[in-house]
């Protein structure tokens, strides 16, 4: 699968403001299955400084800083990404103790994975929901993860929310609906409650249907499984992550996956405009 991505983001301010340094997360990740053939980034106003860097969790980000005051801020990103065909179930769990839940990570893994193991408190109803799936899966680790992902997709209504932090896990569970980031954050906290290291991933998703294909800026879960590494699960669509997903940033906290983060100096109000276009390319010449 080969994708062309055009992602435009624009902020319009009611009066000129000073832009504090900003971090931009738009560069698709390079993985064993993802190759970034092209990438270009246009920023307006032109930054007085711009540097690519790796953050604390090894995401490639763009750091930029500015002079003067401005009444608009826009980012236009173009990418071509090739996703190699692969079987998302092609892994083994090792050692064998990881085949059943609960299991313990090695001491070395646990040290590194601490941020992805630190869960927020969740209510008994959400915990019991997970326990019921675990019982059906007979505590098999991979069966549980697959069935939990499918169960959330079946039991919850996916809604669209363009802005805003994820709802708390209990809020999402009580309402039986949420955006992709709400469902992802709920599943992450449930998995951490079961002792699994889980993190938040943001990126793009291209969905092929019998009608018109659709695409979206998307969020999903990655779980660290001994012997397999980070494996992706998408509770919004009820699937294990494969060639339809293009990751951009992954973090133990969702704030560190936001496409744009930074502050303004001034008292202006802001309006956000976004436009995303993803095209499936068929010409490999």
Give 21-30 pLDDT, tens digit per residue.
999 999 999 9
Q: What does the pLDDT average to over 145-163?
A: 95
Residue spans of the domains in the chain: they are 2-84+259-281, 96-242
CATH, domain 2-84+259-281, list 2.60.40.2250, 3.40.640.10, 3.40.50.300, 1.10.10.10: 2.60.40.2250
| pLDDT tops 50 at residue 127 | yes
Say which residue the tokens 């504090």 belong to.
20
pLDDT at 285: 44
Confidence of residue 211 (pLDDT cuts 50, 70, 90): confident
Put simply, whether the predicted model's pTM sits higher than 0.85 gets the answer yes
2-18 pLDDT tens trace: 999 999 999 999 999 99
Q: In this structure, what token pair is assigned to residue 40?
A: 């270009």
Cα angle value 254/259/262 (rounded, 5°): 90
Q: What is 96-242's CATH topology?
A: C8orf32 fold (3.10.620)
To the nearest whole percent, how much of the chain has pLDDT over 90? 93
């Amino acid at each position: 699968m080969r994708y062309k991505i055009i992602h435009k983001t624009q902020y319009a301010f009611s009066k000129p403001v000073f832009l504090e340094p900003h971090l931009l997360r738009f560069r698709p990740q390079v993985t064993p299955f993802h190759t970034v053939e092209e990438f270009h980034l246009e920023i307006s106003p032109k930054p007085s400084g711009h540097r690519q860097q790796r953050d604390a969790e090894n995401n490639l980000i763009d750091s930029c800083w500015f002079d003067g005051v401005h009444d608009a801020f826009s980012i236009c990103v173009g990418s071509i990404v090739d996703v190699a065909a692969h079987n998302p179930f092609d892994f083994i769990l090792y050692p064998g103790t990881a085949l059943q839940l609960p299991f313990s990570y090695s001491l070395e893994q646990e040290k590194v994975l601490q941020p992805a193991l630190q869960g927020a408190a969740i209510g008994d109803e959400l915990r019991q929901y997970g326990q019921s799936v675990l019982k059906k899966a007979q505590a098999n680790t991979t069966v549980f993860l697959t069935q939990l992902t499918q169960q959330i997709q079946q039991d919850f209504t996916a809604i669209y929310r363009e802005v805003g932090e994820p709802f708390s896990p209990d809020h999402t569970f009580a309402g039986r609906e949420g955006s992709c980031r709400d469902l992802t954050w709920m599943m992450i906290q449930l998995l951490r409650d079961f002792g699994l290291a889980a993190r938040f991933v943001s990126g793009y998703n291209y969905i092929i249907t019998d009608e018109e294909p659709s695409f979206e800026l998307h969020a999903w879960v990655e779980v660290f499984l001994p012997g397999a590494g980070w494996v992706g699960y998408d509770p919004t669509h009820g699937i294990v992550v494969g060639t339809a997903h293009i990751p951009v940033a992954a973090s133990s906290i969702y704030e560190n996956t936001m496409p744009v983060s930074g502050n303004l100096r001034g008292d202006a109000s802001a309006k956000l405009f976004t436009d995303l276009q993803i095209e499936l390319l068929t010409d490999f010449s």
